[in-house]
Amino acid sequence: MSVILHILSRSAWQAAQAAGEYRPASLAEEGFIHTSEIDQVLGVANRFYAGQSDLVLLVINPDQLTSDLRYEKPSGGAPAPGLFPHIYGPLNLEAVCGVFDFPMREDGRFSLPAGIGG
């Protein structure tokens, strides 16, 4: 099974669980939820989340999404070439097949949590 990943704060994940779906600000502002493939997520984390703590990493099964998934050029100065997965609509929680703590290292950068290949 191929998966996509999404970085968010622990409090945003808790709010999504209470609401029954996840609707980040990017969905209203840009029309989609930013996600990454395994080989893209550390570049995104180290560029856009450096210095942030209390993050979690969602592992999402694209086959379980109820919203459209499109692979598109990166927006917002993404750190790597290639196409990034974007979810066009709310994230249904049934598509989330794993949630991992995503702490930064002492140097302020990120590593993939144990249990996520890549």
> CATH code at 74?
3.20.170.20
Specify the pLDDT at position 77: 57
* Number of domains the chain is built from: 1
The verdict on residue 112 lying in a domain is: no
The verdict on residue 113 lying in a domain is: no
Sequential pLDDT tens for the chain (118 residues): 699 999 999 999 999 999 999 999 999 999 999 999 999 999 999 999 988 989 999 999 999 999 999 999 876 655 566 899 999 999 999 999 999 999 999 888 999 998 886 5
Domain range holding 43?
4-101
The verdict on residue 118 lying in a domain is: no
The verdict on residue 109 lying in a domain is: no
The verdict on residue 83 lying in a domain is: yes
Long-range residue pairs from 64-73, CB within 8 A, at least 24 positions apart, any chain:
64/92, 64/94, 64/95, 64/97, 65/91, 65/92, 65/95, 66/92, 66/94, 66/95, 67/91, 67/92, 69/4, 70/32
The verdict on residue 115 lying in a domain is: no
The verdict on residue 29 lying in a domain is: yes
The verdict on residue 47 lying in a domain is: yes
